[in-house]
Amino acid sequence: MNEQVIVTIYVVLDDVLKACDHHSHALAQISDAEVLTVAVVAAAYFQNHQEQTLWLMQRLGYFSGRLSTSRFNRRLHQLGA
């Protein structure tokens, strides 16, 4: 898992969402770009094991807030990913 790649994935996703005029919910602790970043990193490095990826990225301090696995899955499906 390469930190530069993860940050680049986040920045690209965040820029794309902003270009599409997408806004995360005001009460969300983690942005939609961060949720999508977990999905992409899981596919690239963890054989699509999203729960493990979410846990690891939270432990390594990649996110500003906390997100349960259940809530992550609901947010991801809501985004249509």
**pTM for this prediction:** 0.90
Q: Domain ranges for the chain, please list them.
A: 3-78
Digit-coded pLDDT (tens) for 44-70 = 999 999 999 999 999 999 988 889 999
Closest to 62 in 3D by CA, of 35, 44, 28, 43: 35
Contact 35, 75 (CB under 8 A): yes
CA pair distance 55, 78, nearest whole angstrom: 20
DSSP single-letter state for residue 64: S
Q: Is-contact 41 9, C-beta < 8 A?
A: yes
pLDDT digits (tens, 9 = 90+) for 9-50: 999 999 999 999 988 888 888 999 999 999 999 999 999 999
Supply 6's token pair: 């993860």
